Structure 1
Amino acid sequence: MEVKPITHHLFFVLLTATVRTQVNPEMCRYPLGMTGGQIQDEDISASSQWSESTAAKFGRLDFDNGDGDGAWCPDIMSEPDGLKEYLQVDLRSLHFITLVGTQGRHADGMGNEFAQRYRIKYSRNGSNWVGWHDRKGRQIIEGNRNAYDVVLKDLEPPIIARYVRFMPVTDHSMIVCMRVELYGCEWLDGLMSYSIPDGHLMIYRGLDVYFNDSVYDGTTGLGQLTDGTWGLDDFLHSHIYGMWPGYDYVGWNNKSFPKGYVEMIFEFDHVRNFTSMKVHCNNMFSRGVRMFRQATCYFRSGSDWETEPVTFRPTVDRVSQIARFVAVPLGDRTASTIKCRFHFSDLWLLFSEVAFQSGKNNSAWVSFLSVPWDDPTHKVDDSNTRILIGCLVAIIAILLAIIVIILWRQVWQKMLEKASRRMLDDELTARLAVQTQAFSFHHSSLSSEGGSTSNSTYERIFPLCADYQEPSRLIRKLPEFAQSTEHLGRKEKTQSGGSEGAPHYAEADIISLQESSDSGTDSITPVNINLFAGTDSSMKEFPRHKLTFKEKLGEGQFGEVHLCEAEGMQDFLLEDLSIEGNKESPLLVAVKTLREDANKNARNDFLKEIRIMSRLRDPNIVRLLAVCVDTDPLCMITEYMENGDLNQFLCNLSKLIGMAVQIASGMKYLSSLNFVHRDLATRNCLVGKNYTIKIADFGMSRNLYRGDYYRIQGRAVLPIRWMSWESILLGKFTMASDVWAFGVTLWEILTLCKEQPYSQLSDEQVIENTGEFFRDQGKQVYLPKPPYCPDRIYHDLMLSCWRRNAKQRPSFQEIHTLLMDSLV
């Protein structure tokens, strides 16, 4: 079974020829191996060490193997300039590094040393070292304030390096210790350095616009053209706050180039086979800037340039002023150095990024096999050479055959896995196909029809399965999240006595809370058809023939939801379930059905929901009135709220706070039973007579609100715009996360539901924003104060519902009290 790692390595080598090497700093934030152990001890060195137990190999962030004292410490006190002592990490290959993390030494309470500030130096070859500085020229990085916490710092701009040195700096001589981690991804472009002319100054309407390469790291290095940041359409503005006009671009004026072109030279780590080059150009021709008219590229593998260049003439856009990437095909030319000449098509030429797509040249295989093909001083017998070549070709053919077989096997395994996941999705998804003629309805139009089938594609939303998947690969951008999850889980407990596994209100077993004396009927798994036959249940079997179909309201997680007239329902109900209405007239009710072809799990879930809802008694919770479970299709009959859901109703109602009070009251009741709703929003609040608001979770109009839900890798859909950060990142649902959702629901009410929460953000940006709540560095975005919303409601209530620390959020009792006070 040793084949798998080898296969993965060979497969990776084959894929490098087609890797898209354009780096995105926002995505390139993976831990590079100090914490996880991928970086070996021999690749970690230092200028000195205090003792064997504080050697360089112990300088791994958040890692303690029990052998050392928990960090690297130099053998002398650190100096104020921070230029002598260092901890060095060898990544074995070039990496694009976007983030660094540091930590001090506590040694289980025996130590208290840390670096308050530090510098970083880096090198691509181990000989030429460059000191990092930020975009404003500052070299000092603020470090730790205690020996325990991890401090993460973005490197702006990022660096491309193989070797990195952390150099502690102190205001006075003191002992320091460090643990570190690097974050980024492998640099597959292979570009080691480039040489370009100095950028020029543009004077635009009296404004100085500088187009210099401000982060260039040496006479033959890398800089702004490889920092992963693309310029905006308007070059006067920048992605980076507070930078000067033109900062994102390197640019030149054609008056300084009599030959009409700008020449650039790109040096690579080895001979490569180049497919294309992508150049990000500005095209604001209204200010004299256009993309290049022609690119001519020359190639060199040894000492001389090849005589035949590649020439490319793009279509110059004279209509749109949008900045864009221009792909220059390089014709699979082989080289270790490329010289490109970009010809002006207007007064100015502005570039912000250059990236290459390439693969290793086949000569790399020759070098790997140590065959002296081109050494004229090495004499080899021709016959032996032919035999050796034949053997090598046979070995390569056998290896390729093995790789093909293994890859084919893996394809089949993935297909089988997808099939099994599809079967699991069938368990989690209720495909609605309820035959309406299963009701013995009185409606004349239905009595004449022969049973049409209605289908839908709505998926179940809650509860999440046990193997909850992370919401997006974007979360992998947060290395600090991955490191801190276990620590966070130990520190944060559910507020108000709830547990992390608090159940959804429509699925929890509340019988143990309300009928502790019951002995044989508390179990809800499995549930059978005779569940309600005993005297312990208040739910009665309603005669099916007394239901008259009126219209289809929507689709729920188990089946369709219909509006029906229930004849004699008032006389049928027990006294504690009586509702307003004329006893002589049929009562309008909502009938929720289970599709006839539902599997066993869906059937049990449906009956479980009936059992739970039969125990809920609160004026602000939708009530279950009766059931039809003697024959298929199974049905539950609930109150019908004639004014629909709150989202649709708000446009015609001004008593907003009063409705919020009712929602808070219903949630206060649920929280008193330790139930978590998980999907509180105006779409799940129904409006009845006299503007009565009742909380539900029927999903009667989920298709209408499909845009409110975000699909997670085909497994589930989540209302991420209403969810707390810990629910999205950790899959953790508590009463405190319901409080967060209540704050968003209140925001909906006070904005009259005229826009979706965070309407200016995409779903992915909403998820990124939860990462900012996790980091808690003041960059998170809150919903704005609605117009005419009292300051007290927004600042004292809404913002408190969205506090990062779940323990600091108010309870529903406190929310209800505050809202009641605001009505006075």
Structure 2
Amino acid sequence: MCSPVYLMVVSFPLTSTHAAQCRYALGMEDGTIPDSDITASSAWSDSTEAKHGRLSTGAGDGAWCPLGAVFPSASEYLQVDLRSLHFLALVGTQGRHADGHGQEFARSYRLRYSRDGRSWITWKDRWGQEVVSGNKNTYDVVLKDLGPPIVARYVRFYPLADRVMSVCLRVELYGCLWNDGLLAYTAPVGHVMHLSGSPVYLNDSTYDGSTEAGVQFGGLGQLVDGVLGGDDFTETKELRVWPGYDYLGWSREALGQGSVQIEFHFQKTRSFHTMQVHSNNRHTQGVRVFRKVECQFKPGLLLPWSSPPLLLAIPLEDLKDPSSRPISIPLGGRPAQILRCQFTFADRWLLISEISFYSGTPRPPPPPPHTHTHTHTLHTCFITLLLFSEADFAATTPRSGLPVAKHDSSNTAILIGCLVGIILLLLAVIAVILWRQYWKKILGKAQGSLSSDELRVHLSVPSDSVVINNTHNDRERERCDGEGEYQEPSALLRPREHTRQDSTGKHRGRDCFPSPTEEPPPYPGAPPYPALSPPSVPHYAEADIVSLQGVSGNNTYAVPALSSPSPTAADCSPLPDLPRQCLVFKEKLGEGQFGEVHLCEIESPQDLPNLEFPFNVRKGRPLLVAVKILRPDASKNARNDFLKEGKILSRLKDPNIIRLLGVCVSSEPLCMVTEYMECGDLNQYLSHRVLLDKTGPAHHAATISYPALISMASQIASGMKFLSSLNFVHRDLATRNCLRPIKIADFGMSRNLYAGDYYRIQGRAVLPIRWMAWECILMGKFTTASDVWAFGVTLWEMLSVCQEQPYSSLTDEQVIDNAGEFFRDHGRQVYLSRPDICPQGLYELMLSCWNRDCKLRPSFAHIHSFLTEDAMNMV
């Protein structure tokens, strides 16, 4: 139907979406980066040389340590060679502990990088600061986002100190391959626009090259940083930056000419298929998309420019639309190592945010298999149609200056054939969409805005009650805990091979869950689902909220009944639907009335482009996840609640809150996939430690220091500040519901270990009364202010190192009576006493959290500020 053409191998550029996910560990910790690619200016000894500077490893003496002092020269460095250009989004650093024999770490450092190994660039943040804050102790990993990101092959860490002292370092780099191959671009310096007397700076502030005579050259900057500017160029996506930051812009009057010339230098010659330019079009302020573009191609550094140049007009039919937009410019597959383009002004200003290239190497297509002839033909038709359309576009453009393409009967026949093939393919796609429409409708309903009717309920009824296997948690505690305050992270065990056989005896591979046509069990070798247990009593008294069970616990998050969505609500993007075959079963964590919770692995998270994985996933390492499975025989209401829960939990995107990573809803059983924290909860961690005082630790006793406690408390406050900004109410904040590293979760109520922390009201509810504000106990009123009360109790737990229950001298009934004393306010109410290590100022913060008047309790923003700025210096 279509004549053969050459296929293109496309190299996709870095976009804003890819930049957000370009956070893979590049191999310092797991050994992907070999010893030979890690060098240093010097080393103390063989046991502290450069190859030992790997994050979270303890080889040699535990880190790289330079021979010379880093103060005042700051000339010692640790260098990593990545062997090819990489886009680096963040870096991690750590000090040296060496099983208690070393206490060296870098409080700050500088970064220098190079793309060719000859010219070195000092990294600066968006405000021009070179010094990066480092570690505060020998054991914590400190991750720093690189804003702006780095494109480099070589990276050097220069540790700094404010006095003569020993410094050691372990590092990791996070990013991905720089597939664009762009080494540098040259462009005029951006200009300043004045709007209503206020300056809008449209300069390339992160450009890492040189500037001379009003031209920037030899570097990369904001045109390739993966950040796309919005419709209003005066608004920015970054905090604390100036108006216009997201764009590079030029004034025709200030430039003194009618076009802007930008030149791009690449690593090697490649065939350019398309250039995509993200441009602003706020025409009401004199800004428009460029009118035309003329590009020249240079196949090699020493070769002349190819002729003729490519001249294309940009036919924009929606010039009245002020939206920013990507403009795709067909480049016809021309080869080049250097590309020079002239963008012609269409108005007084031209603003560009990002420029990307789609390029590839032509090669003949392989002979298609007989069974896929039709698909291959359609693919060929698509490419033929694309090439034909480009030629037709060039021929019909009035100002192109290109020769007119000849339209003969053969081209017409090819075009008609391709159109027929496209129509057939579209019909097939529509059939697939209709087949899946049922599940999309269900998920769409769950993801829609909650109506006021849905938000108003009068009784909080749990949807599940999960029992956690305590032996597993003991095992994880052994894996995560160590002697003293410092714990070296241990490597995860490799996944066990789970195979299953069909009726013919053939292996069917590893799979955590059954196919939709199979009956239970949900994974190979698992026992069948137990019989449904009787409905449990509600866990909370009446509250005008939607009560939602957390992923592995009970009634974690509650949404106040609002008449309209909160203006501060996070973006509710669709939940990624993860393929269940990627989940490899590890073990069962717990079960309840309507489902089970499993521990699984995702072996290759990088192969799932729609997975918003945590940024600290190691390259080539599996990702541990907790998977909540809804029973196939669950009621319709349970299914709707399950999907609604997923929708609401998808909004909780904060470093200190357990993250929902995705769902499996395209087939039965329905699943939710969340982060899994292998190191257990904060209550168990602290209860096995003693406070570190000036007399030193007891023999063989694990210790915890006051600064470490305050640091963890500030992380809890940070997570609660985020929840409160979304008007989310937790209702069960306690150390048992804070996992390590600090992430707020909801496991506490579901574990037999903490059954004594909950009080059962006969026939009504199960309540964590020792953590609850008086208005929660007596009136069933749960608000952010009641979460503040619970935070005060949680902080008291931490400073008491979880050695006793709150109000341990009172019975449950006396705790309830004490809530009545708060209500009567006759001065007879009992407060938790000040822990020995707690400074008076910090205890006064606790007392303010327990204020009878909920309006007088501090906000989580105030609490977080106090803990990060004041509390750390009180002891």
TM-score by length of 2: 0.50
In the superposition, relative to structure 1, how do residues 16 and 700 fare at CA in structure 2: closer, same or farther (>3 Å)? Answer: same
Give the structure 2 partner of residue 327 of structure 1.
Answer: 328
Partner of 2:266, secondary structure, is strand
Q: Shift of the alpha carbon at 1:159? A: 0.6
Equivalent pair of 1:289/1:350 in contact (CA under 8 Å): yes
| Residue aligning to 2:663 | 711
Q: 1:393 aligns to what?
A: none
Counterpart amino acid of residue 327 in structure 1: S
For residues 730-777 of structure 1, give each alpha carbon's deviation from its aligned partner in whole angstroms, at most 9, with x where no partner exists.
28899999xxxxxxxxxxxxxxxxxxxxxxxxxxxxxxxxxx999879
CA–CA distance in structure 1, aligned partners of residues 230 and 153 of structure 2: 30
Shift of 1:286: 1.2
Is the Cα contact below 8 Å between 1:99 and 1:155 reproduced in 2? yes
Describe how 1:468-547 pairs up with structure 2 within 5 A.
Answer: 490-491=480-481
Separation of aligned partners in 2, 1:716 and 1:806: 26
Following superposition, the deviation at residue 108 of structure 1 comes to 1.6
Between the aligned partners of 1:248 and 1:16, the Cα distance in structure 2 is: 32
Q: CA deviation at 1:322?
A: 1.4
Give the corresponding residue for 2:58: 64
Quick one: structure 1 residues 780 and 655, their matched pair in 2 at CA, closer, same or farther if it must change by over 3 Å?
Answer: closer
Q: Cα distance, 1:702 vs. partner?
A: 4.7
Aligned mates of 1:239, 1:99 — CA distance in 2? 18
Q: Which residue in 1 is equivalent to 2:278?
A: 280
When residues 728 and 675 of structure 1 are mapped into structure 2, their CA distance, relative to the original with a 3 A threshold, is closer
Matched to 1:813, the amino acid is Y
Aligned-pair CA distance for 1:601: 5.0
SS for the counterpart of 2:62 is coil
SS of residue in 1 equivalent to 2:36: helix
Q: 1:282 to 1:678 in 2, by over 3 A?
A: farther
Aligned residue number for residue 690 of structure 1: none
1:198 Cα shift?
Answer: 0.8
* Match 1:164 to one of 155, 159, 164: 155
Partner Cα separation in structure 2 for residue 193 and residue 785 of structure 1: 42
Matches within 5 A, 1:767-778: 778=718
Q: Which of 6, 9, 13 lines up with 1:21 in the alignment?
A: 13
Q: Note if contact 1:296-1:309 (Cα within 8 Å) is conserved in structure 2.
A: yes
**Higher share of residues assigned helix:** 1
| SS of equivalent residue, structure 1 residue 107 | coil
> Secondary structure, in 3 states, of the residue corresponding to 1:311?
strand
The answer to whether residue 68 in structure 2 is matched with residue 76 in structure 1 is yes
In the TM superposition, residue 349 of structure 1 has moved relative to its aligned partner by 0.3
SS of 2:293's equivalent in the other structure is strand
Give CA deviations for 1:321-373 in whole Å, capped at 9, x if unaligned.
111111111111111101000011111100111111223588xxxxxxxxxxx
Matched, 1:813 2:775: no
Counterpart of 2:109 in structure 1 is 118
Whether 1:94 aligns to 2:85 is yes
Specify the code of the residue in structure 1 equivalent to 2:304: D
Q: Residue 620 of structure 1: CA displacement?
A: 5.3
Counterpart contact for 1:675–1:735, Cα < 8 Å = no
Residue number in structure 2 paired with 1:207: 198
1:128 lines up with 2:73 in the alignment: no
**SS of corresponding position for 2:111:** strand
Determine if contact 1:800/1:808 at 8 Å carries over to the other structure: no
What displacement does 1:39 show? 1.2
Q: Given the alignment, which residue of 720, 724, 730 partners 2:676?
A: 730
1:78, 1:170 within 8 Å by CA — same for their partners in 2?
yes
Equivalent pair of 1:461/1:716 in contact (CA under 8 Å): no
1:146-161 equivalences in 2 (<5 Å) = 146-161=137-152
The offset of 1:104, in angstroms, is 1.2
Name 1:347's counterpart in structure 2: 348
Shift in CA distance, 728/491, structure 1 to aligned 2, threshold 3 Å: farther
Deviations 1:18-68 (A, max 9, x none): 121224321100111111212111111111111111111111111234xx2
Contact kept in structure 2, 1:210 and 1:247, CA below 8 Å = yes
Runs of 5+ in structure 2 lacking a partner? 1-5, 211-217, 374-437, 440-462, 470-474, 483-512, 556-588, 596-631, 647-661, 684-711, 760-766, 781-819, 821-875
Give, in whole Å, the separation in 2 of the partners of 1:661 and 1:264: 54
Check 1:106–1:308 CA distance in 2 against 1; reply closer, same or farther (3 A cut).
same
2:34 aligned residue: 40
Displacement, 1:242? 1.1
Distance in 2 (CA, whole Å) between partners of 1:191 and 1:658 is 53
CA deviations 1:293-344 (Å, max 9, x no partner) are: 1111001123421221112222323132111111111111111101000011
CA distance in 2, matches of 1:161, 1:102: 18
- Using the alignment, how far apart are the partners of 1:98 and 1:183 within structure 2? 6
Structure 1: runs of 5+ lacking an equivalent: 1-13, 363-395, 409-430, 433-459, 467-484, 493-556, 559-594, 622-645, 647-653, 669-673, 681-695, 721-726, 738-771
Distance 2:296 2:31 in 1: 43
Deviations 1:790-820 (A, max 9, x none): xxxx587569897535699676616353443
Specify whether residues 291 and 775 from structure 1 end up closer, same or farther in structure 2 by C-alpha distance, changes over 3 A only.
Answer: farther
Whole-angstrom CA distance in 1 between matches of 2:720 and 2:670: 20
Q: Does 1:300 pair with 2:298? A: yes
Per the TM alignment, residue 270 of structure 1 is displaced from its structure 2 partner at its CA by: 1.1
- 3-state SS of paired residue (1:346): coil
**Structure 1 equivalent of residue 252 of structure 2:** 254
Question: Counterparts of 1:56 and 1:268 in 2: how far apart (Å)?
Answer: 32
- When residues 264 and 176 of structure 1 are mapped into structure 2, their CA distance, relative to the original with a 3 A threshold, is same
Paired with 1:679 and 1:781, the residues of 2 have a C-alpha distance of: 32
Shift of 1:245: 0.7
Are the structure 2 counterparts of residues 51 and 210 from structure 1 closer, same or farther at C-alpha, using a change threshold of 3 Å?
A: same
State whether residues 274 and 358 of structure 1, in contact with CA within 8 Å, keep that contact through their aligned partners in structure 2.
yes
Change in Cα spacing, 1:617 to 1:808, as seen in structure 2 (3 Å) is: closer
| 1:550 corresponding residue in structure 2 | none
Cα distance change, pair 675–218 in 1 and its aligned pair in 2 (3 A): closer
Question: Residue 152 of structure 1: CA displacement?
Answer: 0.8
2:386 match: none
What SS is found at the alignment partner of 1:100?
A: strand
2:178 corresponds to:
187
What are the superposed Cα offsets for residues 472-530 of structure 1, whole Å, 9 maximum, x if unpaired? xxxxxxxxxxxxx98996259xxxxxxxxxxxxxxxxxxxxxxxxxxxxxxxxxxxxxx
Q: Shift of the alpha carbon at 1:145?
A: 1.4
Contact 2:663–2:671 (8 Å) recurs in 1: no
Selected match of 1:264 from 224, 244, 262:
262
For the residues of structure 2 that align with 1:81 and 1:777, how far apart are their CA atoms? 39
Q: 2:132 aligns with which of 136, 141, 157?
A: 141
| Counterpart secondary structure, 1:225 | helix
Change (3 A) 1:489 1:157: farther
**Which residue of the partner structure matches residue 221 of structure 1?**
219
Residue matched to 2:407: none
Alignment-derived partner of residue 338 in structure 1: 339
Task: Judge conservation of contact 1:227–1:353 (CA < 8 Å) in 2.
Answer: yes
Judging changes above 3 Å, is the alpha-carbon distance between structure 1 residues 489 and 313 closer, same or farther for their aligned structure 2 residues? farther
Q: 1:276-675 residue pairs with structure 2 within 5 A?
A: 276-301=274-299, 302-316=302-316, 317-359=318-360, 490-491=480-481, 599=519, 609-610=530-531, 613=533, 616=534, 655-656=542-543
Partner of 1:103: 94
- Measured in 2, the distance between the counterparts of 1:333 and 1:662 equals 57
User: Partner of 2:793 in structure 1?
Assistant: none
Note closer, same or farther for the CA distance 1:779–1:607 as it changes in structure 2 (3 Å cut): closer
Maintained 8 Å contact 1:679/1:719:
no
Q: Is the 8 A contact 1:773 1:780 kept in 2?
A: no
Give the number of aligned pairs: 501
The one-letter amino acid of 1:110's match is: H
Percentage identity across paired residues of the two chains: 37
Structure 1 Cα separation of the partners of residues 546 and 272 of structure 2:
65
What TM-score does the superposition give when structure 1 sets the normalisation length?
0.53
Partner AA of 2:270 in structure 1: R
For residue 182 of structure 1, give the secondary structure of its aligned residue in structure 2. strand
Deviations 1:683-741 (A, max 9, x none): xxxxxxxxxxxxx9942335655454463385777686xxxxxx71128899999xxxx
Contact residue 297 and residue 339 of structure 1 kept, 8 A: yes
The CA RMSD measured in Å over matched residues stands at 5.0
